Structure 1
Amino acid sequence: ENEFYGSILEFLGSLPKLKFLNLYDNKLTGTIPVTFANLSKLEHLNIGQNQMHGNIPSELGSITRLHVLGVEKNKLTGTLPESLFNLSTLQKLSFMTNQLTEHLPKDVGCFLPNLQVLFAAENELYGSIPEFLGCLQKLKILNLYDNKLTGTIPVTFANLSKLDHLNIGQNHIHGNIPSELGSITCLRFFSVEKNNLTGTLPDSLFNLSALQTL
């Protein structure tokens, strides 16, 4: 939260003991340095809310100790590297409010066993919501708002016993709201507005005693 501008300096990738790097909310431009992949001890990387462009480098998937990766609110394009789904220590992944175009992978979710927060809203993501998201047993927040997602709401979401916040509004999702979602007892926020859903509202949702926003 300063007024730093210009490209991110490449030398930051030569700090072998660096564990925490937060450049959030500046006026940084340019691309994400590939040299970040050299930061083998990095646990927290946040370069959100800048004016970065280009792709998310696939090389970031080699930072095996990474717990937090935030690149939200930039001008990033391209696709989300599948290498990021190999980061077994990752707890928070935020790439919302960019211009990423991606058919979300269908079979990599179980490789993110520690993921608790996934912010993917306000991009150009398309295709069906992957069933693998139901494998993320520690997931607490899932935000897919304002993309171009199609298909139906996965019944596997019912497996997310720790889910607190689920937002899949403003997409092109059709079909019914699965009654199985009534088993997510921790759910406090549930939004499916601005879709093409049909059918009735499941009675099971009214058993969610923690629910505050529907």
Structure 2
Amino acid sequence: RKRILWKHSGVLSSLPKLKFLNLNDDKLTGTIPVTFANLSKLKHLNIGQNQMHGNILSELGSITRLQVFSVEKNKLTGTLPESLFNLSTLQKLSFMTNQLTGHLPKDVGCFLPNLQVIFAAENKLYGSIPEFLGCLQERKVLNLYGNKLTGTIPVTFVNLSKLEHLNIGQNHIHGNIPSELGSITRLQFFSVEKNNLTGTLPDSLFNLSALQTLFHDQSTNRASPLKMLAASCPISNCSQ
């Protein structure tokens, strides 16, 4: 039986000391209650894997202690409120697999010094990948797969020294794969499949000893195919 989330919102808003709220995969419907903004001490909010619809409310940006925010795998629409990207305590942000549109804020990396994980895959986001994403030096995961992003791969990604997972596949990104990405020494997963990339695959990628998976779909990318020249190549799962 489905439960309507807004029927519980009055009770939840009367819990001023609430720090952890996990309603993941709970068959919830309805919209995100604006009363969540009153939970000033909330650190963890997960309402993912439900059937929620409507917008992500800008008022949620007032929960200044929030560290984890997940609304993934719902039916949310509209654009991303910029207020979310001003939460300096945020460590994980997941809104993947919805129907969200618009673009990522240009200054997305300026006010999120603690952000480690961004799951934004499988939406309808458009525009270029912001250069300021390279300012998120604590980030370990960036997944922008399956959107409508354009432009080129930002060279500022080279600043993401702790990055382990980078997926920008199935977009409309063009240009070269920057050789500077070969300096992200902790990178384990790298996917640029199903884009409009040109040029050659930089040799620096094959010096990444931590790299386990590399997806490069030559049917849509026009970069030169992989050259597995060294017997000691660290990549264990290559797709072209």
Q: TM-score range by the shorter chain?
A: over 0.9
Tell me how far apart the structure 2 counterparts of residues 148 and 111 of structure 1 sit (CA, whole Å). 25
Shift of 1:105: 1.2
Deviates more, 1:73-82 or 1:98-107: 98-107
TM-score for both structures, normalised by structure 1: 0.94
> 1:88: which partner in 2?
88
Tell me how far apart the structure 1 counterparts of residues 147 and 84 of structure 2 sit (CA, whole Å). 20
Give 3-state SS (helix, strand or coil) of 1:110's partner: coil
Tell me how far apart the structure 2 counterparts of residues 107 and 41 of structure 1 sit (CA, whole Å). 26
Whether the 8 Å CA contact 1:139–1:163 is kept in 2: the answer is: yes
Shift of 1:178: 0.3
Shift of 1:107: 1.6
Shift of 1:55: 0.2
> 1:182: which partner in 2?
182
Deviations 1:163-206 (A, max 9, x none): 00000000000000000000000000000000000110000101
Whether the 8 Å CA contact 2:37–2:62 is kept in 1: the answer is: yes
Shift of 1:108: 3.3
Deviations 1:112-132 (A, max 9, x none): 000000000000000000001
Any stretches of 5+ residues in structure 1 without a counterpart?
1-11
Give 3-state SS (helix, strand or coil) of 1:61's partner: helix
> 2:43: which partner in 1?
43
Shift of 1:13: 1.8
Whether the 8 Å CA contact 1:189–1:211 is kept in 2: the answer is: yes
Tell me how far apart the structure 1 counterparts of residues 74 and 173 of structure 2 sit (CA, whole Å). 26
Whether the 8 Å CA contact 2:108–2:130 is kept in 1: the answer is: no
Whether the 8 Å CA contact 1:14–1:35 is kept in 2: the answer is: no
Shift of 1:102: 1.3
Tell me how far apart the structure 1 counterparts of residues 60 and 104 of structure 2 sit (CA, whole Å). 18
Tell me how far apart the structure 1 counterparts of residues 38 and 192 of structure 2 sit (CA, whole Å). 40
Whether the 8 Å CA contact 1:179–1:205 is kept in 2: the answer is: yes
> 2:149: which partner in 1?
149
Runs of 4+ in 1 over 2 A off after TM superposition: none
Whether the 8 Å CA contact 2:23–2:46 is kept in 1: the answer is: yes
Tell me how far apart the structure 1 counterparts of residues 108 and 101 of structure 2 sit (CA, whole Å). 18
Tell me how far apart the structure 1 counterparts of residues 30 and 180 of structure 2 sit (CA, whole Å). 45
Whether the 8 Å CA contact 1:69–1:93 is kept in 2: the answer is: yes
Give 3-state SS (helix, strand or coil) of 1:157's partner: helix
Whether the 8 Å CA contact 2:172–2:195 is kept in 1: the answer is: yes
Tell me how far apart the structure 2 counterparts of residues 86 and 189 of structure 1 sit (CA, whole Å). 28
Deviations 1:66-87 (A, max 9, x none): 0000000000000110000110
Deviations 1:81-112 (A, max 9, x none): 00001100000000000000012111231100
> 1:161: which partner in 2?
161
Aligned-CA RMSD value? 0.5
Tell me how far apart the structure 1 counterparts of residues 70 and 48 of structure 2 sit (CA, whole Å). 6
> 2:218: which partner in 1?
none
TM-score for both structures, normalised by structure 2: 0.84
Whether the 8 Å CA contact 1:182–1:207 is kept in 2: the answer is: yes
Considering only CA atoms, is the larger Rg found in Structure 1 or Structure 2?
2
Q: Percent identity?
A: 91
